Structure 1
């Protein structure tokens, strides 16, 4: 293989270089482009034909000067073709990125959006500032993610290398050293989690990234089970924590809370039964009760656990303990 061919620019980069030359009204012919782009004459001719026939760029060959030129001004290279409605969707997505400012993906997504929008300015007229004022997003309690930790773990997930780290469980004063096989990184309820097989406990575990320190990626390679999927892992979890149980949870909501419950999909298994007077019963099938307990308490007296009995007892105990706190 010709060493120069191995180093030639990708087609899109070549065509954008040709576009820049044409836009500046410089003398653009095959001889000059072959030298500048280090490709053969046939490649240049093919690129120009694509730009003219597929991208609708106004390129013509002027025999008098023996060069290519634009027949009228072109400001931007048309890398993306979208409708005005699709552009508005992009702008909404751009606004949505703001809620993830400070997370590992924000900067990369911001750059990608700017590239997409930049290629549209000669196709559609729009004012991002005006459009973006029409929508906004706000999530409470955005999780904090250490970019160095995230990058180390994401690399280990992709390359299937075992990882060691210190992990502090909620409420514990000291961290414990763990060695795991990382399967997946998930953003659940605005917080990043690592799903990994804990080698000492011989079981899948979920680790919150903010509680994870002193990460060391090892050279030990592993094979991820074919039957693992994040969808399967989280199937019986309300948010993050699944379990081996099989609980049918029934919660009765008063009318003042019923509309708020109807407006969202809380879990894939949910079933809603309407009650007289405007209330409703929500049925969920979960593998653990810890998350649903906290969720029910958040509704205050507007929600009542019907079953299981174990969850109803937990809620009752929590209410008694709260009374003790507030009566002091």
Structure 2
């Protein structure tokens, strides 16, 4: 396993020590990971520096072994029945990590929980699972991209450039180029890579599902010291990132006002109830491409107050949509369309 990256090797090293209750020597670890003893010592030092609770044990005849110990002062790891049951039922929410090394470790933990709970209890708990349904609307399966995601994560952790093969939504074929990965973000069922595109000299986002390949390089990069992925998205209404500073005000009609007020759509939001039952929502964003789609999803129950440019864009969008539904020559002229019910939209919000 000499071709493994340091981050992955250290993860495997922790896994090995976690399974060996009596520890292992540097020589044994080096043999199993097919690396030098010097490399293992360097990895152990790095793990200790990072706060991993490793313990050095001096045994008879000068034998020295290492083991993964419980942090000093930490209580033993144990779960009450309801905690174990809740973790078992929540396992499906880790599916975005499917296939990665983190997923493999999580599956081992869930396997222990299943052993703890027992067959009869698990059968009983599955009855509760029937009450909780996670929709698959827009969900992405990453089980075939495990190694690719690992390479992106390692690149971000070790500040190593990654050469990706990417096909954008509008492209007819994939293109290969180098990126500097800063981190991953999860939005509406999909993973996105955030990083620097050196050839464009700007921070960009790539949808992971559209990355066909990701190869780690030996070239390192420096991430701006003031970059913070959370602050990077602070003014975004999703994953689109703009350079503007736009104040957006929307009036939501009474039938959807409560639905809008029940959620945190953006950290800058300000909601004000009106006497007629409507709601005025205010947001401070870096652009309005994504919020425009969100507003349109409310149909006639949402009206943009400002900015004027967004009002005009939505008006133009609605005109184009109206043209799509205009009667053709083959349709009966003068046929009265059926009255549109608002029950469909409102049913989704109840």
- TM-score normalised according to structure 2 size: 0.66
Q: Map 1:221-232 to 2 at 5 A.
A: 221-232=220-231
Give the aligned partner of residue 128 of structure 1: 125
Q: What is the Cα-based RMSD across aligned positions, in Å? A: 3.2
The residue aligned with 1:322 is 321
Do the aligned residues in 2 keep the contact of 1:96 with 1:136 (CA within 8 Å)? no
> What is the aligned partner in structure 2 of residue 291 from structure 1?
290
Secondary structure of 1:264's counterpart equals coil
Alignment of 1:149-228 (within 5 A): 149-228=148-227
Alignment match of 1:92 (pick from 82, 89, 92): 89
SS in 2 for 1:276: coil
* 1:96 CA drift (Å): 3.4
CA contact (8 A) 2:84 2:113 kept: no
Distance 1:134 1:88 in 2: 14
Instruction: Tell me how far apart the structure 2 counterparts of residues 111 and 301 of structure 1 sit (CA, whole Å).
Output: 50
Q: Distance in 2 between matches of 1:11 and 1:193?
A: 32
Change (3 A) 1:212 1:14: closer
Q: Unmatched 5+ residue regions in structure 1?
A: 1-8, 16-37, 41-49, 56-78
Aligned to 1:64: none
Counterpart for residue 20 of structure 1: none
| Preserved CA contact (<8 Å) 1:80 1:120 | no
Measure how far apart 1:308 and its partner are. Answer: 0.8
- Structure 1 residues 11 and 187: alpha-carbon distance in aligned structure 2, compared to 1, 3 A threshold: closer
Cα–Cα, structure 1 residues 215 and 96, in superposed 2: closer, same or farther, change >3 Å?
A: closer
Aligned residues: 263
Are 1:81 and 2:73 matched, yes or no? no
SS at match of 2:110: helix
CA offset at residue 14 of structure 1?
2.9
Q: Judge conservation of contact 2:96–2:141 (CA < 8 Å) in 1.
A: no
TM-score, structure 1 normalization: 0.70
Residue in structure 2 matched with residue 274 of structure 1 by the alignment: 273
Partner of 1:306: 305
Higher Rg: 1
Matched residues in 2 for 1:201 and 1:11: separation? 44
8 Å CA contact 1:80–1:116 kept in 2: the answer is no
**Separation of aligned partners in 2, 1:240 and 1:192:** 10
Structure 2: runs of 5 or more not aligned? 1-15, 23-57, 61-69, 329-350
